Amino acid sequence: MGFLPKVLAYCLCMTILLETAFALFTGIRGRKNLITVVLVQIITNPCVVLLMLWCGTHLRCHHAIYEIPIESSVVVVEWIIYKKCLRDLKRPFAFSLAANYFSYSFGILMSYFGLTPSFL
């Protein structure tokens, strides 16, 4: 398997694991609700990873210049989906923001401590 499929699979699996755990921790229950959280990650994560890889390769600027707008867009897209699909979720924007912050921060910490796979 080449570099890109490995990166996409790893990032998607980690995001699903982390954000589903976050959903459970924050009280989201029920099969439909948890499946929605997973499907949202399947929709958004590959797009984010591909955009980040492209920007990191082609743009000559500090990574925050493109990471902030990309991650902010994901929070908004996920908020809209959660608002429509998880009707019993009281604060879908706060959940989207916190879940993304949690998984993004976890990834930063893994990188900082050298805990990412060698292909990343």
- Is 69 part of any domain? yes
3-state secondary structure of 2: coil
62 vs 97: CA distance, rounded Å: 23
**Which region holds residue 36: left if phi is over 0, alpha if psi is between -120 and 50, else beta?**
alpha
- Is 96 part of any domain? yes
Closest CA to 100 of 55, 70, 56: 70
- Is 55 part of any domain? yes
Arithmetic mean of pLDDT, 83-110: 96
3-state secondary structure of 39: helix
How many structural domains comprise the chain? 1
Domain that holds residue 7: 3-112
The verdict on pTM exceeding 0.75 is yes
- Is 118 part of any domain? no
**pLDDT number for residue 45:** 98
pLDDT tens digit sequence for 30-76:
999 999 999 999 999 999 999 999 999 999 999 999 999 999 999 99
**pLDDT number for residue 119:** 75
- Is 30 part of any domain? yes
Comparing 87 with 5, the larger pLDDT belongs to: 5
- Is 119 part of any domain? no
Going by pLDDT thresholds of 50, 70 and 90, the confidence category of residue 87 is confident
